[in-house]
């Protein structure tokens, strides 16, 4: 594995652990009025559409399974949804690479909606506790709204940028 891939994977893992740590902190003392965005999902999809070579499926599965366990969600259910969506995004990255950001944002919002809908349907089918539809809708809206901010922050703070066609060809031949 090239050194740049290992460094990128390490930075992604550190960012995801920091996001999870922030979600676990008891920052609010009262009732939560509205759910916040899923920044881990935003970062994953932004990273997957910019540097898919740096994220292996076992790394994604381990991080999101840990998140499921620590956030007391059904273990593995959200992880499976995330893995399916991330592999879908990985397979489409080459075709989406030259599109404007607004098209990417639209496609990512549809992908997030499909993930959340699939997660909810499985919860209903298997008679698991289902959160209120209003809260899920608010979380979806805030997650989609925060996606451009996460992409911008990843670009400025981490230097995460799209791979050019020439770099993609070089990566393909270096394997």
Q: Mean pLDDT, 10 residues at a time, over the chain (175 residues)?
A: 86 96 81 83 95 93 96 95 95 86 95 97 95 94 97 92 71 60
pLDDT given at position 29:
65
Q: Judge contact between 47 and 89, C-beta under 8 A.
A: no
pLDDT given at position 171:
61
pLDDT given at position 119:
97
Q: Which residues of 123-136 are buried (b: 16+ CB within 10 A; e: fewer)?
A: beeeeeeeeeeeeb
pLDDT given at position 25:
86
Q: Which residues contact 27 (CB under 8 A, 6 or more apart)?
A: none
pLDDT given at position 93:
85
pLDDT given at position 169:
66
pLDDT given at position 175:
55
Between CA 31 and CA 76 the distance in angstroms is 28
Domains in the chain with CATH codes: 3-20+37-174 (1.10.1760)
Report the first-to-last Cα separation within the chain, whole angstroms.
Answer: 9
């Amino acid at each position: 594995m090239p050194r740049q891939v290992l460094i990128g994977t390490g930075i992604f893992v550190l960012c995801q652990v920091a996001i999870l740590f922030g979600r676990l902190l008891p920052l609010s003392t009262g009732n939560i009025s509205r759910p916040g965005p899923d920044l881990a999902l935003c970062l994953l999809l932004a990273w997957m559409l910019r540097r898919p070579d740096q994220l292996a499926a076992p790394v994604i599965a381990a991080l999101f399974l840990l998140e499921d366990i620590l956030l007391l969600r059904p273990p593995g259910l959200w992880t499976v949804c995330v893995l399916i969506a991330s592999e879908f995004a990985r397979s489409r990255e080459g075709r989406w690479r030259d599109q404007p950001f607004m098209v990417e944002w639209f496609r990512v919002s549809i992908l997030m909606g499909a993930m959340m809908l699939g997660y909810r349907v499985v919860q209903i089918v298997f008679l698991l506790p289902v959160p209120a539809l209003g809260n899920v809708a608010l979380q979806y809206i805030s997650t989609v709204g925060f996606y451009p901010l996460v992409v911008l922050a990843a670009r400025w703070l981490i230097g995460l940028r799209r791979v050019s066609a020439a770099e993609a060809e070089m990566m393909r031949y270096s394997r």
